[in-house]
Structure formats: structure tokens, C-alpha cells
Amino acid sequence: MNLGEILLHFLQSTGFAIFTWQQGLMILVSLVLLYLAIVKGFEPLLLIPIAFGMLLANLPGAGLMNPPEGDMPGGLLYYLYQGVKLGIYPPLIFLGVGAMTDFGPLIANPKSILLGAAAQLGIFVTFIGAILLGFTGPEAGSIGIIGGADGPTALYLTSKLAPHLLGPIAVAAYSYMALVPIIQPPIMKALTTKEEREVVMDQLRHVSKKERIIFPIMVTLVVSFILPSAATLVGMLMLGNLFRESLVVDRLSKTAQNELINIVTIFLGTTVGATASAENFLTWRTLSIIALGLVAFSIGTAGGVIFGKIMYKTSGGKVNPLIGSAGVSAVPMAARVSQRVGQEANPRNFLLMHAMGPNVAGVIGSAIAAGLLLNFFGG
Amino acid sequence: MGDKITFGDSLVVTVFSMTVVFVGLIILAVIISLLKNISVDKKIKGTEIEVPIVPKQQAKEEKVQPSVDDNELVAVIAAAIAASMGVKVPDINIKAIRRLPQNTPAWAQMGKQERIFGKL
């Protein structure tokens, strides 16, 4: 082998020689997402790993997502991706979310749990829409779950039902979650009267330590008996919550809500982004998924607000319908939106804690919805 | 259920799933409500913080020695009363501020001060 051949061989193996336009476009998409995450502050904790994973997976010839061939080991991201594929990371994220979540407002006002149920309407209406657009059952279920506004749930279900759609669904779910403060208020205002928005709700009652401890155990038992397929997500969520509320395993609680969730987020985000290869992402289906995701969010919000109006009527004007929109998980952003819109109508109104009830109920609701879809289409 | 499903099937899935989501969460709501009766700590059972609604222009009187003539002190007391009543300063009408004779034991005063400084 002479120097000329070595040089030629080297040049042929560089990224420039084997670069395709599709990869170029995907790198461009990842750069746009990085811009949105860093400059515009769109869910940066997840969007940065997702976007960079996308960038890494589309580097020509690098093969970070390649599976092992013969004696050749696979790429790094391929191995990390197994945690997504096998459904390990999302429940671990749920463990951390549980440790961070205060279910007190929900325990204090159990009726607000119904708003968390109503807001799941978006999932199923979008599911019908996706079926009409020609997606298969498992794909449609994964697209609909975007409306649950719950990242880990969406990724968990998609990894089980339609792993080839993970990239577009992750991008749609997290982008819309970042856009909650823009998407929700117009829908909330359109569906409510000023009088309804001005309702000041009674202060929540005190929740005892016993109730806080019994709650996660009870929810795990009830939900898992009704729907065993939801046990993974709900069980981990509630284990995290028990760490928090028992007050005797502070170290575990802190680890779950800091180190563990951060480590898993890095792995999850990067590898989910890495599934967005050019052939998976650059199709008309991605555009329809992004459009359907918006529909899912909007209908979920509307479902919650409309049910809120029903509760306003039945309670004799004691419930502010604005807290209904918080039923679409997206904790705590959706509850903050309820607070903001409520305060615009009446500056003395503090809906935040009232909205946290439906908000955390939405997490349980979307986990149940995911369990149902898994029941119908899994395996 | 197979991969390819019809519009009709999707409606069935939707109606069934929404029903299960509702029923499941209603069961949870009922159990949580029961939980309240079983487990609320005895002492605080039923305590709800009542926020008194104070009518505007209510006369507020504090008994303080008349010799104290300190505008700053008056302003501070007025602001504190307004904040605790949740109204604006112009909405309350302070007629008099008089100092009450000190009858708290010295040890209680010490304790109170320590607590205040502990919070600062």
C-alpha cells in the first residue's frame, strides 16, 4: 500500500465522501431544535439531549446507532438505546417524577381527579384521527398519547407499540409541552366566560401525613388491579412518591429526584433523538404526527375545561373551570397556565394549588390511558 | 386487536377507554374521600383556615400611650394592620394608637424575641 492509496482510502472514509442530503437535512433539523432549546428555552433539559442525539445519529459513517455485526460491537448509542427499547428508562423517570410530586392538592380535593380524566379525551380523539389518516392501530395509539402531555408515558408506550415513530413522537410531545403556555390560553378563554374565570376557590384543607403515605400505596393497588398493564408506570410513580412522603428515606428520595432522573434523562433523550434517522424522520408521516400532536393537546385542554364547566355548574359556581386545562399532565406548566389565566381575569385569584390537583391526576390518567392502549395493541 | 383497525373499531376503543379512565379515577376519588375520614389526624380534623372578610372603612383601634408621636411607627402599624386584614392602607381608619402596659413575663418576652430572630 503506497501513500497515494492510503490518502485515497482515508478520503473515501471521511464524512464528506459518504454524506447524503438526507443526513444534511436531519443535521439541520437538529440544529433548529438546539436553537429552540438553548435560545428560546423550549424544555431544554430534554430537547438538548434529543437534538444532539439526532445530530450524532445522522453523522455520516459514524454508526453510533449501528447494531453489532458479527464480531464487531455496535455503536455506543445502540447500547444505551436498549433502555428505551426494553421500556426501562421511562419508568425510572417516573420514579423521579413521583419523588418530586406533591399529591396533597389532589388528596385535599378528590373531585379534581375527574378533570384529570376528562383531559385524556385528546388522546383518544387524536387516536381516531390517526386511524382515519391511515396509521395502524399501534401507531395511532402512540400518536394519540402525545395528548397526554406526559413525555415518559408517551415514550414508554411508543417504545412498546411503534418504536420506529419514537423520534417524531418525542419531538412533537416535548415541543408541545414547551408550547403549553401558548397553546392553552386561547382555548381556555374561548370556552369560558369572564364570570367563570373570576371564580375564587375555597382554600384547600390540610392533608395529614397518614393520608400522604397511604395514598401512593392505595393508588398502586387500585390502578394495578383494574389495569395490570399500567402497573409499571403507576407503580414507579408511586414508589417515588412514597420515598418522598414517608420522610424516612430522604436519601433515596433525593437520589430519585436528582441524580437518577438526571442520568436517565441524558440516556433517554440522547437515544430517543438518535432514533430519528433520515429514513425514519423525513417522511410525510412526521408532519402528520406533528399536526396530530397539536390536535391532541388542544382537544385534551378543551376536554378538561369543558368538564371544568360542568363542575362549575354542578358545584353551584364554586369550581373555576380554568383548572380543568391543567388535567393534561405537563406538570407543573399546565397548572401555571391556569394560575396565569385566572389571575388575568381576577388579580386576587390564586388557582395554582387548585390546578395542581387535576395536573397530577392527569399524570395518573395518562398512565391509565397508556395501559389501556397497551392492552389493546401490545403484543 | 390487529394492527389494521377500522374507524368503527377506533370509536369502540375510544368509548371503552374513556369509560375505564373515568371509572378508574372515580374509584380513586371515592377511596381518597374515604381516606379523609379514616386517617385525618384527630387534632386538626376539620380545621380549615377561615379568612375573615373584613368590611372596608372599619375602624381599628389599638391602645397605645398618647405621648408617642412617631409618624414612622404609625405608618408601620398601619401597614401591618392593612397587610394582616388584606386591604389597602387608605381603606382602614386608625383612630388612636395607645401603648398598653407591659405585662408579659420577662422569660416569655425572651422566648418571643428568640423566635423572631430565629426567623430572620
pLDDT tens per residue across span A250-302? 999 999 999 999 999 999 999 989 988 888 888 899 999 999 999 999 999 99
- Report the number of distinct structural domains present in chain B: 2
| B17:A203 CB<8 A | no
End-to-end CA distance of chain A: 53
Q: Are residues B66 and B40 in the same domain?
A: no
Q: Is residue B113 part of a domain?
A: yes
Q: Is residue B91 part of a domain?
A: yes
Among residues A294, A288, A357, A282, the alpha carbon closest in space to that of A322 is found at: A357
Q: Is residue B40 part of a domain?
A: yes
For residues B55 and B52, give the distance between their C-alpha atoms in angstroms, rounded to a whole number: 9
For residues A83 and A307, give the distance between their C-alpha atoms in angstroms, rounded to a whole number: 38
Local confidence band at B62 (pLDDT 50, 70, 90 cut-offs): low
Helix axes A166-178, A44-57, angle to 10 degrees: 150
Domain hosting residue B83, numbered range = 59-119
Q: What is the ipTM of this complex?
A: 0.86
Q: Does B10 touch chain A (CB under 8 A)?
A: yes
Residue type, B96: A
Q: Is residue B53 part of a domain?
A: no
| B7:A376 CB<8 A | no
- pLDDT at residue B60 in the model: 52
| A110:B33 CB<8 A | yes
On chain B, the residues whose CB falls within 8 A of the CB of A115 are none
Q: Is residue B34 part of a domain?
A: yes
Of B24, B29, B51, the CB nearest to A226: B24
For residues B2 and A378, give the distance between their C-alpha atoms in angstroms, rounded to a whole number: 10
The distance of B52 to chain A (nearest Cα, Å) reads: 12
Q: A109-153 pLDDT, tens per residue?
A: 999 899 999 999 999 999 999 999 999 999 999 999 999 888 899
Q: Does B34 touch chain A (CB under 8 A)?
A: no
Q: Is residue A307 part of a domain?
A: yes
Q: Is residue A126 part of a domain?
A: yes
Rg (CA), chain B: 29
The distance of B44 to chain A (nearest Cα, Å) reads: 8
Q: Are residues B16 and B39 in the same domain?
A: yes
Q: Concatenated DSSP letters for A313-369?
A: HHTTS-S-GGGGGGGS--TTHHHHHHHHHHHHH-TT---HHHHHHHHHHHHHHHHHH
- pLDDT at residue B110 in the model: 81
| A203:B49 CB<8 A | yes
Of A114, A205, A211, the CB nearest to B29: A114
Domain hosting residue A196, numbered range = 99-249+281-377
- Report the number of distinct structural domains present in chain A: 1
For residues B25 and A372, give the distance between their C-alpha atoms in angstroms, rounded to a whole number: 14
The contacts of residue A230 (CB under 8 Å, 6+ apart) are A223, A224, A367, A368, A370, A371, A372, A374
Q: Does B88 touch chain A (CB under 8 A)?
A: no
pTM over 0.80: no
| DSSP label at residue A165 | G
For residues A103 and A92, give the distance between their C-alpha atoms in angstroms, rounded to a whole number: 19
Classify each residue of B103-120 as buried b or exposed e, where b means 16 or more C-beta atoms within 10 Å of its C-beta: eeeeeeeeeeeeeeeeee
- pLDDT at residue B47 in the model: 47
Q: Are residues B78 and B113 in the same domain?
A: yes
State the DSSP H helix or E strand holding residue A69, giving kind and residue range, or none if neither.
none
| B25:A116 CB<8 A | yes
The distance of B42 to chain A (nearest Cα, Å) reads: 10
